[in-house]
Amino acid sequence: MSDPGGDWTPPDKPVINLESARLEEMSKNERIKVESQGLFFVHDGASKHTFAEEIDQLTRGERETLGSVSKELSKFFGIYKQQERGERGRKTGDQIFMTRIKCPAGGELTAKQWAAIDEACDLFGDGTLRLTSRQSIQYHHVYGPKLAPLVRHLSRHYRRDATLSACGDVNRNVMTSPADGLLGPGDARGRELAYEIAQELAPRSSAYFQVWSTDDEGRTIAPIHVDEPIYGPQYLPRKFKVGITHVADNSIDVRTNDVGFAPVPRDGAADGALWDLWSGGGLGQTHNNPTTAPLLGVYLGRVPREQVVAVTRAIAILQKEKGERRDRRQSRWKYTIRRIGTPEVKRLLRERFEISLEDAEPQPLAAGRLFLGWSDALDGSSCYGIPVEAGRLRTELRKGIRAAVDALDLRVRLTGHQDLLLCGVRDRDELLRVLDAHGVPRADAVSPLRSHSMACPAKPTCGLAMTDAETILPRWMDELEAAGLGDVPVEIRMTGCPNHCARPPSAEIGIFGYGKNDHVVLVGGSKRGDRLARTLYTRLSGERMVDALRGLLRTLKERAPAGVEPGDWLWEQDPAQLRAWVGVEDAV
């Protein structure tokens, strides 16, 4: 099947969804969700108990980790059960958790909110904060007795539903360009829409608040209410992602989302009255399975601002009803919309949901920006972007940012490139003085190559990772800079597996893990987020990666014409010729 958003081979089997099948025909995950009665109960074989009971046992040190059923429910509360992994991916037996917060549009977080987030990593985590590629924050190496105290701390001091729906088969963190309120022309106020969508698609069950927001003894008896007016008892078939881009910046890769919106300029400026609607994006795949593929969202048409939330809700409902419920590898909306067909989806949006969907030609998407260094905000203040390598805020950098936020009462925004912006700056010199005093590197001290790089956590914590990413890409950057290639402004994004959390398929150079020490290398994605990269190397060992990257960057530096984006030039080159120039052959 050919599609403007990418190529996908649909599986040759009937679809199992809410419209066509009984619960008994669906996956175990579907039964877990129904039997939980709104994420409250755990049915483990013949026994039944509350999810809160296992959390209480963890807190008291009576169990080391969650059971297999509770592990699935915990994702809806922003929690992933993990086991630390050593050499060649072997589990070491150290049971830990990762906890992610909900942070629509990446903030802006107040100084008080940032203080609560910052304090939590010392009290309950490993002393670091991990900024994600979806403008959120993760805590790593959280041990069982500290899990509930962490979530309660965040719920009391950050926001009431701090981790609710940060993971799970629901709408995830809604992304927005950091440019909103910073760059013209016009101000489409995308952040307002992001907050509205996040609120509209948040789960309604009382379970989160009963489990995490109180220590009262009677809280585990029964759920107060389980009604989910949008999701129903089975929630969505898989995760659901929404992004809102900016007329001057597409750093969030809007077409990689299940639902994406881009403001339409009128008279040369974007006022946010009309929005282009993209739908059906998602980058995850399974190795050697052509029925899974990275896909970009396809264009559905144009909607007025007052219906942006309504059309997002409508697409979520269509996915709930029509999405695959047995094979989770086929359960994302990107496959559902292609099975149904865009003409039928547009008809349903117009006729069933009364969406004023206008046929139009989409506006071109802008290139992504990094927002490092100084930006002038539309309110007259300034923002200062700080590069955060691989998104990991380690102790020294974290403490420097905290000192600046506290001293100048600043607000914090997170970017889709795992960086951080300090906003509301009225005294630029004073901010730089505070940052310098705490050893925070100036934004212009980081090379263009390193600034454009991004990596997922991968090993040793992520259970899906096949290879390293965050722990190894900075070392490769060291070697590339030592070779005089730090001035090449090319995107390099790396993940440890083909779930593609750091979005390598849409990068100018993308790398992802294959096996214990092999990598797939892609080239030719676009900074505009309107093209997927193609494969350059199908298998390349870790030992050969630096040679390949060094040759690739030298080729770019010596052969790509000035003024041409690296990804655009790489896309035009024959892969065999590129490999010859690089001097490293494919292992397959």
What is the DSSP track for 84-102?
Answer: EE-GGG-EEEEEEEEEE--
Q: How large is the average pLDDT for residues 76-102?
A: 85
Residue 484 has pLDDT above 50, yes or no: yes
Residue 361 has pLDDT above 90, yes or no: yes
- What distance in Å separates the CA atoms of residue 231 and residue 317, rounded to the nearest whole number? 7
- The structure's pTM equals 0.96
Q: How large is the average pLDDT for residues 137-143?
A: 97
Closest CA to 530 of 299, 258, 320, 336: 299
Mind listing the pLDDT tens digit for each residue in 452-472?
Answer: 999 999 999 998 999 999 999
Residue 3 has pLDDT above 60, yes or no: no
Mind listing the pLDDT tens digit for each residue in 156-191?
Answer: 999 999 999 999 999 999 999 999 988 888 899 999
Non-local (6+) Cβ contacts of 297 within 8 A are 5, 254, 255, 256, 257, 258, 259, 260, 278, 279, 280, 281, 334
The label of the residue with tokens 């709104």 reads: 38
Under 8 Å between Cβ of 261 and 190: yes
The alpha carbon of residue 308 and the mean position of all alpha carbons in its chain are separated, in whole angstroms, by 21
Domains of the chain: 2-75+169-351 (3.30.413.10), 373-448 (3.90.480.10), 462-582 (3.30.413.10)
Q: Which residues pair with 453 in a beta bridge?
A: 492
Confidence of residue 566 (pLDDT cuts 50, 70, 90): very high
Query: Checking DSSP bridges between strand 382-386 and strand 420-425, what pairing results, if any?
Result: antiparallel
Under 8 Å between Cβ of 116 and 152: no
Strand order in the sheet with 534-541: 453-455, 492-495, 509-514, 518-523, 534-541
DSSP string, 196-220: HHHHHTS---THHHHHHS---GGGG
Under 8 Å between Cβ of 286 and 339: no
Under 8 Å between Cβ of 158 and 114: no
- What distance in Å separates the CA atoms of residue 436 and residue 500, rounded to the nearest whole number? 35
pLDDT at 516: 86
Q: How large is the average pLDDT for residues 328-341?
A: 97
DSSP string, 236-268: -SS-B-EEE-BTTB-TT-GGGSSEEEEEPPBTT
pLDDT at 219: 59
pLDDT at 344: 98
Closest CA to 390 of 495, 482, 533: 495
From residue 492, give the alpha-carbon distance in Å to each of 62, 172, 455, 521, 576.
Answer: 44, 25, 8, 10, 20
Under 8 Å between Cβ of 538 and 587: yes
Of 19-23, 208-212, 491-495, 499-503, least confident by mean pLDDT is 208-212
Closest CA to 355 of 314, 299, 298: 314
pLDDT at 350: 98
Mind listing the pLDDT tens digit for each residue in 291-310?
Answer: 999 999 999 999 999 999 99
Q: How large is the average pLDDT for residues 196-224?
A: 84
pLDDT at 89: 57
Confidence of residue 378 (pLDDT cuts 50, 70, 90): confident
Higher pLDDT, 19 or 3: 19
Q: How large is the average pLDDT for residues 549-573?
A: 97
pLDDT at 222: 80
Q: How large is the average pLDDT for residues 328-350?
A: 98
With pLDDT > 70 as the criterion, what percentage of the chain qualifies? 97
For residue 560, the SS3 value is coil
Task: Give me the long-range contacts of 42-49 (CB less than 8 A, separation at least 24).
Answer: 42/67, 42/69, 42/70, 42/73, 43/69, 44/68, 44/69
Closest CA to 490 of 537, 536, 557, 444: 557
Intra-chain end-to-end CA distance of the chain, in Å: 26
For residue 105, the SS3 value is helix
Residue 92 has pLDDT above 80, yes or no: no
Closest CA to 431 of 450, 403, 473, 469: 403
- What distance in Å separates the CA atoms of residue 106 and residue 101, rounded to the nearest whole number? 10
